[in-house]
Amino acid sequence: MDIDQARTFLAITANGSFLEAAKQLHLTQSTVSARLQRLEQELGARLFVRNRAGASLTPAGRRFLDYAKRLVLTADQARAEVGLPERYRASIRISGRIALWEGYLPQWVGWMRRQAPDVVIHSDIGFEEDIMRGLIEGSLDIGLMYTPTHSPGLVVEALFDETLILVSTRPDDTGPGEDYVYIEWGPGFYARHAQSYPELEGPPQIANIGWLGIQLILTNGGSCFLPARMAAPFIESGKLHHVADSPEFRHPAYMVYPRQSDHPVLEQALDGLRELAASQHVIE
């Protein structure tokens, strides 16, 4: 058994498809199939059930998942940490939604630099699908997101609740107007938004992240829903205004990490995220 076989197994697991795994790994589908076949022969067990929908883990595949993650994670950590300068003892890799990099995660990076200055921090911005894939494959240690999926071997922990509020470039707005920008905050927001605005026609503008919504309304005028902590500096400066009597939506943020890990600073990093989440700077 080699690392490439384990990495290929994890890519298939994360993507649910041999074809998508091949694209991600920049391999041919036949190479992916051959690697998996050799792995199954070495383990003496079938790891995937293949059907029209793609590939799903067998019971043996689910049992092998944690071992595959450890193999890849150990190899990646060895590659990253053996080459570290002597003043560093470890590295940690974290990825999060861009809205969580507004204030919260940079504070955590500062906290880590003070508490563990001998740790290298790899920071990344991503969407849920990419972050979960990295966690499943073992290329990430911690993921921060709003709509995580559950996967064997990973812990999904509620971190704090965002409060989504309607803000506008005009102080006298009473609700979404013709220049309203709908931000795709996830299925939960979609359902509550539709319930609150049943008469609202399809919005003329749609953005997939809050940062983009801010840029659009600051440049062209309009309104959108943003996390209160993200909107606060714009409201304080008078660039945006909280729309009075508009609904507010709870939007929980989660951190996802391996259930079992021998990473030397993972628990410390998680404790720092919890500590900052509990501070007045995050909870509205």
Distance CA 231, CA 239 (A): 10
CB atoms within 10 A of CB 243: 21
Q: Does residue 280 have a pLDDT over 60?
A: no
pLDDT band at 82 (very low <50, low <70, confident <90, very high): low
DSSP of 122-176: EEEE--HHHHHHHHHHTS-SEEEESS----TTEEEEEEEEEEEEEEESSTT--S-
As a CATH number, domain 161-251 is: 3.40.190.10
Q: pLDDT per residue over 197-223, tens digit each?
A: 998 888 889 999 999 999 999 999 999
pLDDT band at 85 (very low <50, low <70, confident <90, very high): low
pLDDT: which is higher, 66 or 223: 223
Q: pLDDT per residue over 125-150, tens digit each?
A: 999 999 998 998 888 999 999 999 98
Q: What is residue 284's predicted lDDT score, i.e. its pLDDT?
A: 44
As a CATH number, domain 3-78 is: 1.10.10.10
Q: Does residue 283 have a pLDDT over 80?
A: no
Distance CA 183, CA 194 (A): 13
Q: pLDDT per residue over 151-188, tens digit each?
A: 888 999 999 999 999 999 999 999 999 999 999 999 99
Q: What is residue 282's predicted lDDT score, i.e. its pLDDT?
A: 47
Burial of 261 per CB tally in 10 Å (0-12, 13-18, 19+)? middle
Q: What is residue 58's predicted lDDT score, i.e. its pLDDT?
A: 94
pLDDT, average across residues 263-267: 92
pLDDT: which is higher, 85 or 5: 5
**Where does CATH 3.40.190.10 sit in the chain?**
85-152+253-277, 161-251
Q: Does residue 81 have a pLDDT over 70?
A: no
pLDDT, average across residues 68-92: 75
pLDDT, average across residues 111-124: 94
Q: 241-242 and 223-227 as β-strands: parallel, antiparallel, unpaired?
A: unpaired
Select 85-152+253-277's CATH number: 3.40.190.10, 3.30.1440.10, 3.20.20.10, 3.40.50.300. Answer: 3.40.190.10
